[in-house]
Amino acid sequence: MPRYISHNNYSDYSDDGYDDYDDYDCGRLKKSGGAVEGRPAWQSKKSSTGSTPSNTGSTTCSTPKTTFETVSTPTPITPSTSLSSVANIGTMKATPSQQHIAKFIADVERSEEVIKGAAGLIKSRNTINVLVVGHVDAGKSTIFGHLAVLSGSVSMRERTRTQALADTYNKSTFSYAFLLDTNDEERQRGVTMDVCNHTLTLAFPELGDNYSVPHTVFLQDCPGHRDFVPSLIRAVSQPDAAVLVLDASPKEFEKGLSDDGQTREHLQLLMIFGVKHIMVAVNKLDRTDWNEGRFVEIVTVLTKVLRKDIQFGGEVTFIPVSGIGEDGSHNLTPGNAGCLPDWVRKHTSLGEEIYKTQSIRSTSQIKGEKTSPTIILFDVTPDTYEGKKVFAANCVVESGILQLSDSIVHLPSMYLFQIVSIMVDAVEADKAVAYDTVTLYLAPDKRATKLCNNCDKLDSSVVVKEMPQGSCFVLTGILLQQGPVSKGVWINNMILATTVKALVLVLNTPRGISVGDVYDCYVGSSRVEARVHKINAQINPSTQEVIRKNPPLVGKSAYVRMTLIFNVAVIVKEFSKSKLMGRMILRSDNRSVGLGKIERISEK
């Protein structure tokens, strides 16, 4: 359940500054002196504070609290300030040599030649980012492990090794899945527990010249169990398309769509992730003797859910498959449905459908004010590079152009690094551009030890702890140009904020969402707590007209504009400027209860 709080816990915050939804015709919400009329008063109780999840992939939500910490106005962090005291960006304590200042500032500007080259990279990248979702045990890892073997992305030696390993676990049918589920606990439990990233190379020259150029497919294989949905939310970046895997076995498809299943929630998440193309792999049809009636039933039911309940307006393709089928009996790649009924052979294979996926990459993400890069961090580990201490950071370039040897600063820790190596699709490169998923090898930047926090002599575990998932990097020159950064100050088109105004779709929650509720809130890839400060209006999603002003409570399927206050400051963008950094998901009791888009950022 959401946590209920006394409004007085927010005495530091008045309504001033939070009611500027004038163009939505939303009036001010009168301050509540107690319980909402017609509902019981919720008395706050002191309880121990749940720990903030680390960035190690922990997926269980903290125990719900009956109180919510007051959001104090952050002050800029100085190099001596501990990150644990406030999640905020720091100020510079001194300037480096004039030579370094000039270089860092000059590096912010990308030449026309560099921009032109980066645009060419975006256009030439044959990389497709595909998100794989589905209810637990639907067969996601099996399908794509099998596809990896068929495409030659995995050697037969590795295939033989995982087959033997599966036999030792008495899970012989999991041999393909073991190619993707690589840690021992996943293999013992037989379920994917964290988002697993994999790369496939697809080409089907037998289909003609249009299929002969190899396409790199960057897969994000997501866990199906409800307990691991938070890791899915935080790890997903900017997918071009998604594959939803369904189990066609008797009663299993229905189980996935039930209140205890994950199919519906996964579809809702695909909406907020910006997916426009969903490929539905109807798996395990071999268990129904390839019954066409069962396939049609699933297509009919899911289409209704997508179009009416989820209101998905993008492209949907249904493909009948069998993840463990023998050659000629699985329909994972062209020519492998020859032993199957005629109705199956009329459908394209899953591999062919993925190959045809169009990338959403646009050169607009590297031009104008977006030339300077914003890099979102997923995880970081200590490493070595050419015998030197470095940190390996797995990231996505949200926008801009990143170059080898760039000096970058991590926000909020203010640690300064120099990029010593860039890996794009497991290949070393001299630059990375918007949409690229990269591994950056970062060395403490000794050229400017007086500029920001110096992590060269710190224990690696301390540095890693202060670089959480969802934080970001910008060029050092950006800070030099714009000066000290604190709450309410824009930097590289981002802002450190505690208060946002969002358009939220209320999902299937028993009691709805009301003013004062507190939820686990996933903003981009960051996790914070958010209090519903005000429900400004309920609106008609089709006409955008206001249905009700300032409702104290809204129920399932309501579209509302609301003001939210975070318990710590986070770096955000408006959804119109960044679908990755402007998306928001509210969760309670291990369920998603609201999907939101940040429309405005309200900081004084």
What pLDDT, on the 0 to 100 scale, is given for residue 85?
32
Tokens of 206: 């037998």
What pLDDT, on the 0 to 100 scale, is given for residue 30?
36
Phi, psi of 141 (to 5 degrees): -65, -35
What pLDDT, on the 0 to 100 scale, is given for residue 230?
66
By the 8 A CB rule, do 255 and 135 touch? yes
Measured in whole angstroms, the distance separating CA 202 from the mean position of its chain's CA atoms is 25
Domains of the chain (ranges; CATH) run 7-74+494-601 (2.40.30.10), 83-122+363-482 (2.40.30.10), 127-355 (3.40.50.300)
Q: Positive or negative CA dihedral for 133, 136, 141, 144?
A: negative
What pLDDT, on the 0 to 100 scale, is given for residue 184?
53
Tokens of 589: 């009791």
What pLDDT, on the 0 to 100 scale, is given for residue 310?
84
Per-residue pLDDT reduced to its tens digit, 500-522 = 999 999 987 888 999 999 999 99
| Integer Cα distance of 470 and 475 in angstroms | 17
DSSP 530-567: EEEEEEEEEE-TTT--EEEES-SEE-TT-EEEEEEEEE
For residues 570-595, one letter each, b for 16 or more C-beta atoms within 10 angstroms of the residue's C-beta and e for the rest, the string is bbbbbbeebbbbbbbbbbbeebbbbb
Measured in whole angstroms, the distance separating CA 164 from the mean position of its chain's CA atoms is 34
By the 8 A CB rule, do 603 and 498 touch? yes
Cα angle for residues 602, 477, 401 (degrees, 5° grid): 85
Question: From residue 44, how far is each of 47, 337, 466 by CA, in Å?
Answer: 9, 61, 32
DSSP 175-196: TTGGGT--SHHHHHHTS--S-E
Please state, as a whole number, how many other Cβ atoms lie within 10 Å of the Cβ of residue 548.
Answer: 13
CA-based radius of gyration for the chain? 25
What pLDDT, on the 0 to 100 scale, is given for residue 252?
92
Question: DSSP 3-state assignment of 106?
Answer: helix
Question: DSSP 3-state assignment of 5?
Answer: coil
Q: Which parts of the chain register pLDDT below 50? A: 3-96, 185-194, 224-225
Question: From residue 136, how far is each of 196, 245, 303 by CA, in Å?
Answer: 15, 10, 21
What pLDDT, on the 0 to 100 scale, is given for residue 284?
96
Helices 140-150 & 156-168 angle (0-180, nearest 10): 150
Per-residue pLDDT reduced to its tens digit, 114-159 = 999 999 988 887 788 899 998 878 888 899 988 988 998 887 888 8
